[in-house]
């Protein structure tokens, strides 16, 4: 990852679709899609397999993927 002094590393990571762990002295970056998925998952109330698959379907639908209800995950 090439970083120049003209832009903070955190801004470059965001442009690449990664969320930095800190604005300075980065140690970790997390994919924004993964953060969106976990946010969707935790907005669903009960932690069980039906709710998990519902969250997964919502997450995938937002990205243009549609799962048939007959498909077993």
**Burial group, residue 18, by CB count within 10 angstroms (0-12, 13-18, 19+):** buried
pLDDT in tens, 49-65: 777 788 888 888 888 98
Q: What is the pTM of this model?
A: 0.58
pLDDT in tens, 27-48: 899 999 999 888 887 776 666 7
At residue 46, what are phi and psi to the nearest 5 degrees? -90, 130
The length of the chain is 73
Domains of the chain, by residue range, sit at 9-62
């Amino acid at each position: 990852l090439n970083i120049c002094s003209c832009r903070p590393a955190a801004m470059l990571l965001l442009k690449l679709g990664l969320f930095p762990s800190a604005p300075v002295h980065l140690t970790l970056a997390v994919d924004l899609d993964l953060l969106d998925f976990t946010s969707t998952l935790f907005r669903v109330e009960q932690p069980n397999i039906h709710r998990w698959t519902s969250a997964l379907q919502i997450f995938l639908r937002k990205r243009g993927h549609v799962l048939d209800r007959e498909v077993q995950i």
